[in-house]
Structure 1
Amino acid sequence: MHGRLKVRTSEEQKALKQKEQQKKLLAYHMGMEKILSTRKKDSYDLESLQISASILSSNPDVYTLWNYRKEVILMKIEESKQDELEGEEKLISFLESEIKFTEQCLPENPKSYGAWHHRYWVLLNHPKPNWTNEFALCTKYLTKDDRNFHVWDYRRLLVNKIGITFDHELSFSTERLNINFSNYSSWHYRSTLRKLDSDCVGRELDLVKNAVFTDPGDSSAWFYLRWVLSNPTINVQAKIELLNDFEQLEELEPDCKWVILGKCWLTGSLDLTANKYLNRRVDFYKRLAVLDPLRKGQYVDYLKIAEKKT
């Protein structure tokens, strides 16, 4: 009827989507063909460089194009060496535009290996890199998504470049974890900052214990707890106290496999000659085989080992 917008059917929408995808695919193939046909060791084609930017802006995971741009940068570096008056200034200008370009690509895929690796490579070849600015960029992206392990890795590379103190990074990690305990990347980053010793292992144990009690079903903190428990400076009494805490937690969360696994780790690292701990581990594995049927075979194997020692 007149005055009404025509609503496309699902088949029409599907056909239009396929047509659009085909257009993009054709443009991609034509662009790649153009770039590869002009790719040389001693010179580059400006149009091809621009085409590579257009493709990477919508798909920053095309490694071939990042490598192509690296080749162009290496040519620019050689050119700068020939120009003693303005060579470095021109090179810096070119590299700064390349750094800005990677930042344009990251919103399309903030977890792009190619984009982050290229950005760092450019900075390593920059005569006057602004590492402080990069550190601020990391904080910005981690505020948006604190699980982006690419940014955590990038941040770790920058720490040594800038000379950021250990206390600063530890505080930053604690801040992110307090916002979101369910953060594998932040827990892992924390484990890379220092080696646990008798002075700090107690604080780390308290922090991760708070996390597992807050959300017993979240696996990220449990993996960190296992790492902390592997430290030889934790004494038997502390492990026994934690085991008692888990007994209380189990009353609240009787079907949580992580609580039972935590008890397995603790009893396994206590006195293996004590039959009371071995017998309890046998019971734990039997329960895990029921609670976590996908890994039943693993628990059955553990159960056989435990039963041999009893």
Structure 2
Amino acid sequence: MHGRIKVRTTEEQKALKHKEQQKKLTAYRMGMQQILSTRKEDNYDPVSLDICTQLLSVNPDIYTLWNYRKEAILIEIEKRSVKLLMVYIAVRKNEIDGEDNIIKFLENEFRLTEQCLLANPKSYGSWHHRYWVLMNHPKPNWENEFSLCTKYSRMDDRNFHVWDFRRLLINKIGITLSEELQFSTERLNANFSNYSSWHYRSTLRNLDRESVGTELILIQNAVFTDPADSSAWFYLRWVLSNPTVTKDRRQELLDAFGQLEELEPDCKWVIMAKCWLTGSLVLSDKDYIDRRVQFYKQLAKLDPMRKGQYEDYLKAAELNASHVEDQKS
């Protein structure tokens, strides 16, 4: 009928999609064949490098293509370094011109990686290539890279690639430990459900008695805000593995989590944390062992999908309890 838009049937849509996929696959195969056929140790083909750029813009996770670009960069750096060496004595200015040319070549790589990261912010190849280019750049702009981290953190503050990249940069630009801890705290206060930020804190310093207290306060704020979120609980387990966490601190946490359990009786993480705490306390204290047995029974009810795991833990706890009894008798 005139004036009506024709809507394709499901079969027509499938056929059209398949045709488009085949077209892209053919172009990809032709591009890869062109690149691999011109891959040489002593030179590279500019046309193949352009094709490489196009393919990575569509799919930035092809490691072979990133390696090809690294080879091209090294060839270009070596080639231009030889030219500089030949003209260095005659004309000092040529050294500057040659360095500028290399910088322009590497700046194109930065633009490509940023384009790829906009398409896929969690592309391993793109982040690795960007840092590799920075390490081979005669005048790397570390401050600019740090700004890039801030940009991508705002897009997704749980993108662990950004946090890893940031950790590589802080030593280059002289940021202090206190500044980074403050930044991490600010990000966590904005969103406690941030595994990457919690993990980042664990890489910044070795905990002592004073810093353990600071971390435990932050953790309690997080778990009381959202007890069901697992990120802070996992960080708690890491903090509890530190030998500077005293028995008194563990008992304080047990008391605090007892209050939280009254508010959230069906939250398995509260009970799980109690298991970690009582397992780390004096094992010869029968009261703690008996309580741990009770905690595992609660977990088996609250989290039936992992019932078998809790029952295994329960058997170990009961065995430990009977062993303590035998020692007393």
1:49 and 2:49 matched: yes
Residues 222-241 of structure 1 show CA distances to partners (whole Å, capped at 9, x for unaligned) of: 00011112222222222112
- Cα distance in 2, alignment partners of residues 59 and 13 from structure 1: 24
- Cα distance in 2, alignment partners of residues 95 and 179 from structure 1: 36
Query: Secondary structure, in 3 states, of the residue corresponding to 2:210?
Result: coil
- Cα distance in 1, alignment partners of residues 109 and 257 from structure 2: 53
- Cα distance in 2, alignment partners of residues 66 and 174 from structure 1: 35
TM-score w.r.t. length of structure 2 = 0.92
Q: 1:297 aligns with which of 305, 308, 322?
A: 308
Pairwise mapping of residues 5-84 of structure 1 onto structure 2 (< 5 A)? 5-84=5-84
Which amino acid is the alignment partner of residue 307 of structure 2? K
- Cα distance in 2, alignment partners of residues 143 and 62 from structure 1: 26
Residues 189-223 of structure 1 show CA distances to partners (whole Å, capped at 9, x for unaligned) of: 01111111112111110101111111111111100
Q: Percent identity?
A: 71
- Residue 88 of structure 2 corresponds to none
Query: Secondary structure, in 3 states, of the residue corresponding to 1:153?
Result: helix
Pairwise mapping of residues 153-172 of structure 1 onto structure 2 (< 5 A)? 153-172=164-183
Query: Secondary structure, in 3 states, of the residue corresponding to 1:42?
Result: coil
- Report the alpha carbon displacement of residue 127 of structure 1 after superposing the two structures with TM: 0.6
- Residue 146 of structure 2 corresponds to 135
Which amino acid is the alignment partner of residue 25 of structure 1? L
Q: Which stretch shifts more, 60-69 or 261-270?
A: 261-270
Q: Is the 8 A contact 1:57 1:105 kept in 2?
A: yes
- Report the alpha carbon displacement of residue 92 of structure 1 after superposing the two structures with TM: 1.0
Query: Secondary structure, in 3 states, of the residue corresponding to 2:118?
Result: coil
Q: Is the 8 A contact 1:152 1:185 kept in 2?
A: yes
- Residue 235 of structure 1 corresponds to 246
Q: Which stretch shifts more, 146-155 or 15-24?
A: 15-24
- Residue 279 of structure 1 corresponds to 290
Q: Which stretch shifts more, 146-155 or 10-19?
A: 10-19
Which amino acid is the alignment partner of residue 67 of structure 1? N
Q: Is the 8 A contact 1:264 1:284 kept in 2?
A: yes
Larger radius of gyration: 2
RMSD of aligned alpha carbons: 1.1
Residues 255-275 of structure 1 show CA distances to partners (whole Å, capped at 9, x for unaligned) of: 211111001011111121111
Count, aligned residues: 310
Which amino acid is the alignment partner of residue 275 of structure 1? K
Residues 40-98 of structure 1 show CA distances to partners (whole Å, capped at 9, x for unaligned) of: 11111111100000000010000000000000001111112122223222111101111
Query: Secondary structure, in 3 states, of the residue corresponding to 1:127?
Result: coil
- Cα distance in 1, alignment partners of residues 175 and 210 from structure 2: 22
Which amino acid is the alignment partner of residue 274 of structure 1? D
Q: Which stretch shifts more, 9-18 or 70-79?
A: 9-18
- Report the alpha carbon displacement of residue 294 of structure 1 after superposing the two structures with TM: 2.6
Query: Secondary structure, in 3 states, of the residue corresponding to 1:110?
Result: coil
Q: 1:195 aligns with which of 176, 199, 206?
A: 206
Q: Which runs of 5+ in 2 are unaligned?
A: 85-93, 322-329
Q: 1:184 aligns with which of 170, 192, 195?
A: 195
Q: Is the 8 A contact 1:79 1:87 kept in 2?
A: no
- Report the alpha carbon displacement of residue 167 of structure 1 after superposing the two structures with TM: 1.3
- Report the alpha carbon displacement of residue 147 of structure 1 after superposing the two structures with TM: 0.7
- Report the alpha carbon displacement of residue 9 of structure 1 after superposing the two structures with TM: 2.1
Which amino acid is the alignment partner of residue 235 of structure 1? T
Q: Is the 8 A contact 1:49 1:69 kept in 2?
A: yes
Which amino acid is the alignment partner of residue 258 of structure 1? W
Residues 113-154 of structure 1 show CA distances to partners (whole Å, capped at 9, x for unaligned) of: 100000000110011110110011001101110111011001
- Cα distance in 2, alignment partners of residues 285 and 218 from structure 1: 20
- Cα distance in 2, alignment partners of residues 235 and 295 from structure 1: 30
Q: Is the 8 A contact 1:148 1:185 kept in 2?
A: yes
